[in-house]
Amino acid sequence: MKSREYFKSIKFCDMPDTIKEPVDWHHFTDEYVIALPREEHRQFGMVTREEHRARCLDVILKYYGYDIFDIIYKLMFDRRYQHSVDLTKRLIEYRNSLEYWL
């Protein structure tokens, strides 16, 4: 098992306005983090890392919507997309569209 200092912490996307309470940065992969409400994130603390990540998917869907959830799910579980150029392009396009509307 990797300890926390070995994980990278690349911020995946900005925190939505719907999260008003304190946040924890959730590693949904060993590299990428996403902000989740601290209380909801810590509900799933006493399980394996894989189980924790899987259980937090509902919280991600609740606060970030299906588009972000879909990309994260593919990064986490579908080996075809983990190093995919297409998914990376899709991520960049999505992030650029967010910046355009902000």
49-77 and 85-101 helices cross at what angle (nearest 10)?
90
Per-residue pLDDT of the chain (102 residues; tens, 9 = 90+): 444 555 667 888 888 888 889 999 998 887 888 999 999 999 987 788 888 888 888 888 889 888 788 778 777 776 665 555 566 666 666 666 655 444
Write out the two tokens for 94. Answer: 């999505």
Write out the two tokens for 4. Answer: 């926390």
The domain limits of the chain are 4-101
Identify the helix (H) or strand (E) that includes residue 24: strand 23-27
Give the pLDDT score at 35.
92
Give the pLDDT score at 96.
64
Give the pLDDT score at 39.
92
